[in-house]
Amino acid sequence: MLEIRLLGPVEIVGGPGRGDRLSAILRRLFAVLVLRAGDGVRFDELVEELWTQEPPAHVENALHAHVSRLRKYLDAWEPEDAGRERLTATPGGYALAVVPDEVDVLRFKELRRQAYEPSRSPSEAIDLLERGLRLWRGPALLDAAEGPICAAAASVLMDLRLLTVTYLYELRLRRGEHAEVIPDLQELATAHPLEEALQDLLMLALYRSGRQAQALAVYDRLRRQLAERLGIVPGPGIQSRVQAILTQSSELDDLDQRFVSR
């Protein structure tokens, strides 16, 4: 079975080959076909994805040639004409067949879905989320996100990763790991200075670790950043959090309390 990796540089692992043997245009072709696996990609969409500037004069012939090259690579990774079986022509374009367990994107989404099941304990959910996040090797579709479909998918996946990371640290706070998560949350809050959910988690972790002044400083920095960059004020959820910190409300000690949503 192949291992198809899109959560970072595009790679195919299995048999004698690796995805880094693919040219840039074949990486984009392979990535968009994986993203639309089962549904297929129309001819005009493939042209726009592969040639973001001016397409070649005989674009249909060029596309067919790239599809043939990709099939040869797939044949090298799997025996018995697997490339022709996996990558097929459709009435309006091409389609690629994959098994969900082969694709890191689909495995990540499935682990995330399992973690969000209401019956999961925090420890079980944390384990599932960490397994999913370990699939990431860098920004999604790192070397294949030039065309519109892959670029949009990469943006969605990166946002989903951030949501997953945020939920992971929410669960760790619920498990009482206040001091332990502070370094990671500080790094995340710096990388995403306008993400109120992350700032909220950092504020709560600091407060529960006896660092009230630093928790308030996080809010002050967020308030300034939002005003300077977007001309807005923090949302009501995080404003309620800072008021609770100022009054040292007992609700802040409740491990199951609500957090600010993204």
Closest C-alpha among 107, 131, 126 to residue 6: 107
Residue 163 pLDDT: 97
Answer whether residue 108 shows pLDDT above 90.
yes
- For residue 73, what pLDDT is reported? 85
Q: Is the pLDDT of residue 206 over 80?
A: yes
Give CA–CA dist 100/49, Å, rounded: 23
Tell me how far apart the alpha carbons of residues 241 and 262 are, in angstroms, rounded to a whole number: 15
Does residue 113 or residue 22 have the better pLDDT?
A: 113
From the number of C-beta atoms within 10 Å of its C-beta (0-12, 13-18, 19+), residue 138 rates as exposed
Residue 38 has pLDDT above 90, yes or no: no
The CATH code of domain 3-102 reads 1.10.10.10
Say whether pLDDT at 62 is over 90.
yes
Domain ranges within the chain, ordered by starting residue = 3-102, 177-262
Asked whether residue 13 carries a pLDDT value surpassing 50, the answer given is yes
End-to-end CA distance of the chain: 37
Q: In this structure, are residues 14 and 55 in contact, taking their beta carbons and an 8 Å threshold? A: no
Q: What is the mean pLDDT of residues 42-61?
A: 93
Under CATH, which architecture does the 177-262 domain have?
A: Alpha Horseshoe (1.25)
Specify the pLDDT at position 180: 98
Task: Please report the pLDDT score of residue 185 as a whole number.
Answer: 98
pTM: 0.92
Check: CB of residue 109 under 8 Å from CB of residue 135.
Answer: no
Model confidence at 261, pLDDT cuts 50, 70, 90, reads low
pLDDT of residue 259: 72
pLDDT score at 258: 67
| Per-residue pLDDT tens digits for 71-98 | 988 887 776 656 668 999 999 999 999 9
